[in-house]
Amino acid sequence: THHIEIAVAIGLLTYMVGALLYRFVKMRNEKDEVDHHYVQSRLRSLETQLNPHFLFNALNSIAELIHQDPNKAETAILKVSTFLRNTMDEKALIPLHNELRNVRDYIELENIRFSGKIHMHVEDVMPKIQVPKFSIQLLVENAIKHGFIEKNILEISLSYEKNQNALILKNNGNAMHSTSFGTGLTNLAQRLKLLCKGNIEISNQETPTFIIYLGDCNENTHC
């Protein structure tokens, strides 16, 4: 009888521990699912800010060209269409080479307005990594908007720092007078945090230089 009582007690204890573990795992999975849905919802919300932001600037450029050069305006409209088609990938993280292709399309569009004065230089060997969609494009857009000097050629360069897992983008335009972020860069900072636990910082104001710390972006390839 004593052995039976011990066996029953051990059985009940095992059952209780199992039930608690099951409940714990279930609650953790439910929390992870809620967190995942929150992140995805937040990312979708942030991404809806991007195309209108780009279109607003692009349409302003086209509006100027309509009066100055109708043929260039027509070419610009076709470039906008190509750019948007190439960026319709629903994933929040895309291969770096895809992002660079979108950047080249964007610069071609801007060079219609700026008569080919925007030059982009990319390090010869770039890694096969994932980056947030529109990340480099937003920095290039920012460089053109705030750094372009009409009489000069705007040189933009992009390199990769392996030890820091970071992309470094700099330009030779106007010095930066403020380190506060506008809508586009704030959006990028939030997406980097959500997707990769990464961040973005300004490392030089005289020679405008941005560093994108990619964190664990390449661990989140499902995004």
Q: Is the pLDDT of residue 47 over 70?
A: no
Check residue 43 and give its pLDDT.
56
Give the residue, 16 or 38, on which the prediction is more confident.
16
Arithmetic mean of pLDDT over the chain: 80
Q: Can you give the pTM of this predicted structure?
A: 0.72
Select the highest-mean-pLDDT range: 138-142, 180-184, 207-211.
Answer: 207-211
Q: Is the pLDDT of residue 90 over 80?
A: no
Give the residue, 56 or 145, on which the prediction is more confident.
145
Determine the Cα–Cα distance for residues 136 and 102; give it in Å rounded to an integer.
9
Select the highest-mean-pLDDT range: 13-22, 27-36, 79-88, 157-166.
Answer: 157-166
Q: Is the pLDDT of residue 170 over 90?
A: yes
Residue 216 DSSP code: T
Three-state secondary structure along 82-108?
HHHHHCCCCCCEEEHHHHHHHHHHHHH
Check residue 37 and give its pLDDT.
46
Determine the Cα–Cα distance for residues 187 and 46; give it in Å rounded to an integer.
6
Counting Cβ atoms within 10 Å, is residue 120 exposed (0-12), middle (13-18) or buried (19+)? buried
One-letter amino acid identity for 33?
E
Give the residue, 54 or 139, on which the prediction is more confident.
139
**Which of the residue ranges 52-56, 73-77, 174-178 would you say has the lowest mean pLDDT?**
52-56
pLDDT tens track for 206-220: 999 999 999 988 765
**Which of the residue ranges 2-11, 99-108, 112-121, 205-214 would you say has the lowest mean pLDDT?**
2-11
Select the highest-mean-pLDDT range: 18-22, 71-75, 91-95, 119-123.
Answer: 119-123
